[in-house]
C-alpha cells in the first residue's frame, strides 16, 4: 500500500472527523482535483460559478478557489466593464440566467454581485461525483520576495503571518493553518506555492519548515519558473535536495502537488494562466475532505499534467506502476532517488529507467527515498508519484479507477 505514515496527531485529528478508521483498501478509487485556482474574487478573470463549472465539465471531481487573502464570503460587487469584461458577463448571464445573476447600474455603470461559496456550492456538488472545498491563497512576502501558501478546506480566513526571513514567513503561516485545524477539529492542509516565483524560496528554506508536508512541484502559471535557470534549481531538483536533507536529518518526507493556478479563462496561450494544465489524483474511498486529506497526508496521490496512472503499488521490495495506455503514445518511467551515504553530487539521480505502460523498481535497501516520474511522448505530459522510503514499504490492494 502506498501510504506514508502521518504523525499520531495528524491521524487522530482526521479520524476524529468521522469517528471511524480509514476505509478498507478495496473501496479506494482515484479522484481528480485542483487545489489552486482564482476567480473575480481576487485576480482571476471569470465569475466563480463559471470557473467551477469549467472544472466539473472537464472531468474533475473536486476543486477549490484559492483567492488572495480572502474567502469567497461577504458582499463584493465588480464593475463589469473593468473586471472580466462584457463578454465574460454575457456568458455568465446566459449560463445561469436572470434569476441567478444579481446586478445593479449606477453612475459607474453595470455592476454584478459575486456569489459566495454558501450560495454557489449547491449548484455543483453531488455526492461521490463532485466536491467544492473552501481554500485561500495566503499571500505574504519577505523583503520583496513573494511567499504564498495555499490553505485547503479552511473554515476561517488566515491572515498573512509575516516573519523576519522567508523560512520564518513559511513556518508562521503553516503554523496558523495547523492551529486552526487543531482548534476546530476540521481537516485541512497547507502547501507552499510556486517556490521559484520571484526566486523567493530556496531548498534550505523548505528543509527548515518543521511541519511542511506539501509544495508545488508543478504550477501551470507562465511566470513561476518551474524550470529554474543557470544558477537556481528547477522545482524537481529542489524537491530532491529537500527530500535528501530532510531524511538525513530524520525529518518527514515532503510531497509534490501539481496545480494549474488558473487566472485566465477567456484567452488561451502559453503566456496566459489557463485552466487544466496541472492537477492531482488522490486515491481515497470517498469524495470527502477528510478522506482526501488523509490520503494526501499518507502520500497516496500523484501529480499530473496529462499522464494517467491506473495503479501504484509499494509492496515487499518493489515499487511498481501501471500507466493507462494510449494509442500512438509511449511512456518512459524514471525512478529517481538518493542512496544513503552517497555524495551530494548524486542527489536525485535516475536509479532506473523503464519504457512501456508497466514499470517496476526493486529496492536495494540503502535508498533514502525513491520517487517515480512518468514521461509521455506527448509534449509536456508528465506524472510524478510521491517519494517512498524502504522502511515505509507496504502492500497495495487493487483499486478501481473513476473516470468521469
The pLDDT, as a whole number, for residue 322 is 98
pLDDT tens for the 404 residues of the chain, in order: 343 333 333 333 333 333 344 444 558 999 999 999 999 999 999 999 999 999 999 999 999 999 999 999 999 999 999 878 999 999 999 999 999 999 999 988 999 999 999 999 999 999 999 999 999 999 999 999 999 999 999 999 999 999 999 999 999 999 999 999 999 999 999 999 999 999 999 999 999 999 889 999 999 999 999 999 999 999 999 999 999 999 999 999 999 999 999 999 999 999 999 999 999 999 999 999 999 999 999 999 999 999 999 999 998 889 999 999 999 999 999 999 999 999 999 999 999 999 999 999 999 999 999 999 999 999 999 999 999 998 765 433 334 444 44
CB 154 within 8 A of CB 134: yes
pLDDT for res 82 = 85
Q: Which residues of 59-94 are buried (b: 16+ CB within 10 A; e: fewer)?
A: ebbbbbbbbeebbbeeeeebebeebbeeebbebbbe
pLDDT at 9: 33
- Per-residue pLDDT at 169: 98
Model's pTM, two decimal places? 0.91
| pLDDT value at residue 19 | 38
Q: What is the pLDDT of residue 392?
A: 62
The domains found in the chain, sorted by start residue, are 8-76+114-392 (3.20.20.140), 77-113 (no CATH)
What angle in degrees, to the nearest 10, is found between the helix axes of 48-57 and 117-124? 20
Nearest CA-CA partner of 314 in 372, 393, 398, 371 = 393
DSSP state, residue 346: G
Nearest to 190 by CA among 211, 210, 159, 162: 211
The single residue listed with the C-alpha cell 509575516 is: 162
| Cα dist from 235 to 199, 206, 324, whole Å | 11, 12, 26
Rounded CA-CA distance 246/210 in Å is 10
pLDDT at 5: 33
* Residue 170 CA neighbour count, 13 Å, CB half: 27
**What is the DSSP annotation of 239-288?**
HHHHHHHHHHTT----EEEEE--B--SSS-STTS--TTS-EEEEEESSSS
> CA-to-CA distance for 10 and 15, rounded, in angstroms?
9
pLDDT of residue 22: 45
Amino acid at each position: 500500500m502506498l501510504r506514508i505514515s502521518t504523525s499520531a496527531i495528524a491521524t487522530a485529528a482526521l479520524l476524529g472527523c468521522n469517528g471511524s478508521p480509514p476505509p478498507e483498501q478495496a473501496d479506494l478509487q482515484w479522484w481528480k482535483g485542483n487545489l489552486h485556482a482564482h476567480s473575480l474574487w481576487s485576480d482571476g478573470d471569470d465569475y466563480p460559478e463559471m470557473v467551477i463549472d469549467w472544472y466539473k465539465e472537464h472531468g474533475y471531481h473536486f476543486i477549490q478557489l484559492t483567492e488572495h487573502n480572502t474567502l469567497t464570503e461577504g458582499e463584493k460587487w465588480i464593475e463589469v466593464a473593468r473586471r472580466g469584461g462584457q463578454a465574460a458577463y454575457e456568458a455568465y448571464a446566459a449560463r445561469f440566467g436572470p434569476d441567478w445573476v444579481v446586478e445593479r447600474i449606477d453612475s459607474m455603470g453595470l455592476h454584478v454581485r459575486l456569489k459566495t461559496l454558501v450560495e454557489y456550492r449547491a449548484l455543483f456538488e453531488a455526492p461521490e461525483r463532485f466536491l467544492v472545498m473552501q481554500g485561500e491563497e495566503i499571500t505574504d512576502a519577505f523583503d520583496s520576495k513573494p511567499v504564498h501558501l495555499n490553505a485547503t478546506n479552511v473554515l476561517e480566513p488566515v491572515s498573512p503571518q509575516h516573519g523576519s526571513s522567508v523560512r520564518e514567513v513559511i513556518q508562521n503561516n503553516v503554523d496558523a493553518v495547523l492551529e486552526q485545524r487543531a482548534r476546530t477539529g476540521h481537516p485541512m492542509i497547507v502547501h507552499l506555492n510556486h517556490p521559484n516565483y520571484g526566486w523567493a524560496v530556496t531548498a534550505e528554506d523548505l528543509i527548515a519548515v518543521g511541519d511542511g508536508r506539501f509544495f508545488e512541484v508543478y504550477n501551470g502559471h507562465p511566470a513561476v519558473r518551474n524550470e529554474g535557470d543557470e544558477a537556481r534549481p528547477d522545482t524537481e531538483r529542489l524537491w530532491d535536495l529537500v527530500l535528501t536533507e530532510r531524511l538525513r536529518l530524520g525529518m518527514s518526507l515532503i510531497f509534490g502537488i501539481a496545480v494549474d493556478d488558473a487566472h485566465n479563462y477567456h484567452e488561451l496561450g502559453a503566456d496566459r494562466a489557463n485552466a487544466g494544465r496541472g492537477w492531482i489524483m488522490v486515491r481515497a474511498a470517498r469524495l470527502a475532505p477528510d478522506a482526501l486529506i488523509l490520503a494526501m497526508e499518507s502520500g497516496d496521490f500523484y501529480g499530473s499534467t496529462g499522464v494517467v496512472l491506473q495503479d501504484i503499488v509499494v509492496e515487499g521490495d518493489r515499487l511498481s506502476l501501471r500507466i493507462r495506455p494510449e494509442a500512438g503514445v509511449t511512456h518512459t518511467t524514471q525512478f529517481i532517488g538518493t542512496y544513503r551515504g552517497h555524495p551530494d553530487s548524486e542527489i536525485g539521480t535516475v536509479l532506473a529507467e523503464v519504457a512501456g505502460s508497466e514499470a517496476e523498481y526493486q529496492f536495494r535497501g540503502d535508498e533514502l527515498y525513491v520517487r517515480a516520474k512518468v514521461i509521455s511522448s506527448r509534449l509536456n505530459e508528465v506524472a510524478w508519484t510521491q517519494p517512498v522510503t524502504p522502511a515505509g514499504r507496504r502492500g497495495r490492494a487493487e483499486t478501481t479507477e473513476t473516470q468521469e
